[in-house]
Structure 1
Amino acid sequence: LNQGIDPRQGLLIGGGGGGGLYCTGIAHRLGCWPVLIPSASAALSATGAMLSDLRATYTATELMSARVFDRERANAVLDGLHAQCREFCDGPGAGSIRSEISFSVEARYQEQVWEIEVPLARPEFSSDEDITALVESFHDTHDALFAVRDTGSDVEVLTWVAHVSCALQDADALKPPSAPGRSGAGGTRRAYFPGQGVIDTPVYQVQDLETGRRYPGPLLVESPVTTLVVDARSEVARSANESLLIYPLE
């Protein structure tokens, strides 16, 4: 919030075996919807480590003023960073199905005490227009983060940054195995909900939910790795990849 980011525009992810118990309440307090409960929520960190791309970040310090900008020196720094990224792709990232390299700078207004990271639209400075584009991008980013735009001040670049990522597998094509469990073992269970007290609450097994259909709360959804609590203000749907999505009831 302090840097202009509205959590209501994001997606709330319930990780860990206990995430399904309290994520709906947190979403209501934040106004952040929908809530995603991945099929591997109880082992989300380990799953992410196994499926995520290999990444590396390389940096070089080279102080440069936008008003006295040395394109040749800047391009030499970027070329050096690009070479490091290519070495990473050919080493740890060898055999990847795709790789991506992006560049940014850590810049500030002249003599400012902090820097912000600004992406570079192009990996080289071939004309004065590229310098102007960097300065404008810095102003825009600074304005978005701090609601301050000082176009009369010089912009200084301190650090040049290169990010490289190598995808070792197509994570989008992966699908978890169908959840084992007690198919059809539903019924009701006595459960307490604020404002309602102890009520007979419907219980569903995750594999018995119809894909795409929304089930209004209050209810409980059981899976082999977590139990999801959906209150009377919310509804839940099962996605095609067997994750669960929680929405607020209108």
Structure 2
Amino acid sequence: MKKKIIFACFIFLTVFCSFAQNIEFKYYSDYSKGFSGYAASAYQCNLKDANINEEDFFDKISEVLDEEIPPVQKLTKKNNWLFQKSLNEWDYEVGEVYLVFCMESEYSNEALVFFVVIEEKKELRWKAYKVKEADVYKIEELFSNAEPITAIPTSEEYVSGQREIYDWYTSLGIVLGKTKDGNTVRIDVAFAYRKEDSATQKEIRERTVEIKDYLRRFISQHEVKDFRNINNEDNLEKEITDGINELILSSGRIRDVVFQQKDVIE
């Protein structure tokens, strides 16, 4: 399920970055941690390509924003989890700049906004602000005289509005499991990976037993209504994608999961 960002604004950060108002939020959840929330992330630019120093980048943010909106000094475990979930949707590289937005729920009237730079060895440096709707208009006014960058690079997954074409692993087979309310569910999933990504394909094959065990446990953590509700399918597929990438795979990374079969056995 996707939600549109609630803040109707357009921010320009001199020649550093810009983002559009129609960023799409995704719902993330982790039943084992008890965490859930909505987040969105947007690629902005590469500081190296623009010959912008990282220190200058963050100094400019501080100069313009800190007096109006105090920066967040420390994240809760949940906020850090949600921030990482959204950012990890991207294959980020050193020098790239991202904006990440996190909200408690689809009805929230405030959000955490992160300015993120990818440092060497893919370490992250970020600065965050808790922004209410009124604060967004303050930011818009602060940057109203700034010049936007002339071109914003886009993710290769969304060139000309088209998602990247993946290869699919479809040979996992049927997995049976019991939901936590005692019903039997049968699923068969397919895994997407990038074309010519032989490492991920190989690791999926080698870890078939672990993946099937994970899927049985995944079924046991949900109620039968979660599988019957067709509107919940995207959430289930996203949970499986994140779980396998974080808990099972080490050298590979799946890009998507789809249900080839999903049945409740009465």
TM over 0.5: no
Q: How does the TM-score come out when normalised to structure 1? A: 0.28
Higher relative contact order (CA 8 A, sep 6+): 1
Name which one, 1 or 2, has greater alpha-carbon Rg. Answer: 1
